[in-house]
Chains A and B, each alone.
Chain A
Amino acid sequence: GEDVEQSLFLSVREGDSSVINCTYTDSSSTYLYWYKQEPGAGLQLLTYIFSNMDMKQDQRLTVLLNKKDKHLSLRIADTQTGDSAIYFCAEAGGSYIPTFGRGTSLIVHP
């Protein structure tokens, strides 16, 4: 199976919370990342979490890490239409080179 897995699509209503889930296989992962890609653009690092942390919050974004289950999630509070994009989960070990999931397309509708 793939090293980093995430569901391909998520649809939410504007104003609701979005939760994007990700699982990874490498138990030696040091950094877990969330990237955002808007249409036709490169990747933008949204946030990251060290493997020794359980949670990180940054304004509307909350990252939860369950290291035992190798499960990472990104919660976007008060989702806006401008949040519509593809969100990539990634993990990296000591080389700090991310291995990416296939991306989750978030669609926000009014």
Chain B
Amino acid sequence: GAVVSQHPSRVICKSGTSVKIECRSLDFQATTMFWYRQFPKQSLMLMATSNEGSKATYEQGVEKDKFLINHASLTLSTLTVTSAHPEDSSFYICSAREGGGPVGNEQFFGPGTRLTVL
């Protein structure tokens, strides 16, 4: 299947700093990319959906000024956690999808980024 990478895989930062996480589709062009947050023993919570070249659509309760998403190209989306606090510590997973309909609607997931805010 298609490969999605995330960088970094693990990051530790101080409270108040900003952290950028990259998500790349390596062998396909991702029309749509998704950002999820996963707490221990919990489901994946969809944070936002981004389409290349347009603004991200955030799920209810997700602060768009806190979690900045940029989908500048068909192979790269970035999530920036601004002014991070300990409660932002979590496992962040991205996924990418080539198409939006029945063909190519499968999402391919990245390996995740473990963010720890001290």
A: interface residue count bin = 20 to 34
Q: Within the assembled complex, what's the spacing in Å between the Cα atoms of A4 and B111? A: 23
Residue of B41, B100, B107 near A98 (CB, 8 A) is B107
Contact: B41 with A8, CB < 8 Å? yes
Known: A8-B41, A102-B42, A102-B43. A42 touches B100 (CB 8 A): no
B window 66-118: CB within 8 A of A: 93, 95, 97, 100-102, 105-112, 114
Contact: A42 with B106, CB < 8 Å? no
Q: 1/0 contact trace for A83-98 toward B, CB 8 Å?
A: 0000010000000111
Contact: A42 with B111, CB < 8 Å? yes
> Within 8 Å of chain B (Cβ to Cβ): is A100?
yes
Write out the residue numbers on chain B whose beta carbons fall within 8 Å of the beta carbon of A88: 43-44
Q: Which residues of A does B touch, CB under 8 Å? A: 2, 4, 8, 31, 35, 40-45, 88, 96-103
